[in-house]
Structure 1
Amino acid sequence: MTQTVKLAGGDALPMVGFGTWQLKSKTAYESVRAALDVGYRHIDTATLYKNEADVGRAVKDSGVDREQVFITTKLRPQDARNARRTLESSLRLLGTDYLDLWLIHWPTGQNEFVPTWEEFLRAQDDGLIRNAGVSNYSPAEIDRLTEATGRQPAVNQIPWSPAQHDPDLLAEHRRRGVVVEGYSGLKNTDLRHPVLTGIARRHGVTAAQVVLRWHLEHDIVILPRSSRRERIESNFALDFRLTDEDVAAVDSLGRSG
């Protein structure tokens, strides 16, 4: 599954990423190794996850060229005043000279709101990160950053699932040219729902695969996470397509409660 979306700066972001939230130490290492072996080329971590060293070691030991792996990590809001020092720590732990994407994990306090974004842009100008973005921001908050600096986030990583599907919010991001990355899509979904199991049966896949493919049909980047090899593989095996009727049926789950 090598579908990509082009970021504003021109980089290709693989639309199927591997999430590492709650994966610790040996499990994080082994899961990232398995993901890279399966074919994932986008790995998502965060300072908060406390597994950057394990992720970095897994990338290094995988034998996959660093340039072929899109690595994202995130800054905790409480580290905003030490953003550059935190970035340098992340780079050391990950064993890399640069990040492909650095995100502000949540909006910071008002005093740091714009200065943190300015620090991200300096890091980009200095070549320490290739792309700068945010997570858990509203379109209005994104606009504040853009209006203050003239440069907008490349990505906004936000929770997304059939139950949370919001076409208007998606359109607001599209209008700004901001790529949406959805997280917790499976965690926040009833995979036994008859709409999902029915579509899964017709395509010969699992309900989880239907939900992940549905995100891709909406051009939303996904970050499924698992420590089980067979789940890591199935979450990546998304080379089928949903029909327009399938997509509309899954969309309707949000409206039906």
Structure 2
Amino acid sequence: MYVNQNISTKSFPLNTGDTIPAIGLGTWKSTGPVAREAVKNALLAGYRHIDTAMAYGNEAQVGAGIRDSGVPREKIWITTKLRNNWHHCAKWGLDASLRELGVDYVDLFLMHWPVARDPMNPGQALKDWSFVKTWHEMQKLLSTNKVRNIGVSNFGIHNLEILLHDPLTTVIPAVNQIELHPYNPSPKLVAYNTSKGIHTTGYSCLGSGSSGVCEDSVVKRLAEKKGKTPQQILLMWGIQKGWSVIPRSTKQSQIESNFDLDGWCLTRTEIRQVDGVQSRCKIVGDGFLPMKVFFGDDE
């Protein structure tokens, strides 16, 4: 369990020998000039990890925000993701993201979902294709110098087992990015990731307004006790549990507050208190996909 107090400079090791910053800025639902400003403000506040995706429609704004910040590209960890309808042409998908971002490479390229959608009919899965084939194409990208690490997102144990046991899978995902907060802790999946040498990144780590995670009585009580915000408690909980976090915000004050995690930590007892919350709420579902990817067996 991590107890060092310099969270702003902490990073987690990956199975590739690379390291990923413990905290980054998530940009889901951030678009246009607001996304650009949020990225710039985050980097000026000290963040060194920016997470985006082709499906977010904001890669150009993210790239502009990076350039606006003046922080050198080589000091920033950029994560983006392959869109579902680009599974059959991962190389082109990566190139499209690089053009939008205005960079020569990304540090982490994730398969956004374990579903290959038919580009001509998004409501259907692509025939004669599978996410395993997509991964095999992504493996080839490591030799192009356009991506440093590859990984997956929204993969449960069931689909990871399929991927890892395929004879043509030669690269273990460096990262599995999944929804993680006290109302959706997924301990079995996190433990499985760890057992396979896959680092876990938590998205929606602050829950959402509808989930009520930040209003949970345990979280609020700890925040008052520690003199911190509920959001800071949730982020520290995740980092001390061993995963990186990518909180999303577009407000400068919130961006700065979320990053203000140095000089304190949660005790083991306090972590167990957060672990023990009883409410459950999964924010991101799979109903919009042509096939099921969440099976409720990762708790």
When normalised by structure 1's length, the TM-score is 0.95
- The residue aligned with 1:209 is 232
Query: Which of 163, 166, 190 in structure 1 is aligned with 2:186?
Result: 166
* Corresponding pairs, count: 257
Matched, 1:235 2:258: yes
CA distance in 2, matches of 1:191, 1:104: 29
Summarize the alignment of residues 135-214 of structure 1 with structure 2, pairs less than 5 Å apart.
135-148=153-166, 149-186=169-206, 187=208, 188-214=211-237
- The residue aligned with 1:98 is 105
Matched, 1:133 2:157: no
Structure 2: where are the runs of 5+ without partners? 1-7, 117-127, 282-299
Query: Which of 248, 258, 274 in structure 2 is aligned with 1:250?
Result: 274
Summarize the alignment of residues 59-98 of structure 1 with structure 2, pairs less than 5 Å apart.
59-98=66-105
- The residue aligned with 2:141 is 123
Moved over 6 A (4+): none
- The residue aligned with 1:32 is 39
CA distance in 2, matches of 1:72, 1:252: 32
* Root-mean-square deviation over aligned CA pairs: 1.5
What secondary structure sits across from 1:225 in the alignment? coil
Q: Which moved more, 1:138-147 or 1:117-126?
A: 138-147
Return the structure number with greater helix share: 1
Identity rate, percent: 40
When normalised by structure 2's length, the TM-score is 0.82
Structure 1: where are the runs of 5+ without partners? none
What secondary structure sits across from 2:213 in the alignment? coil
Q: CA deviation at 1:37?
A: 0.4
Q: CA deviation at 1:51?
A: 0.7
What secondary structure sits across from 2:50 in the alignment? strand
Q: Which moved more, 1:105-114 or 1:43-52?
A: 105-114
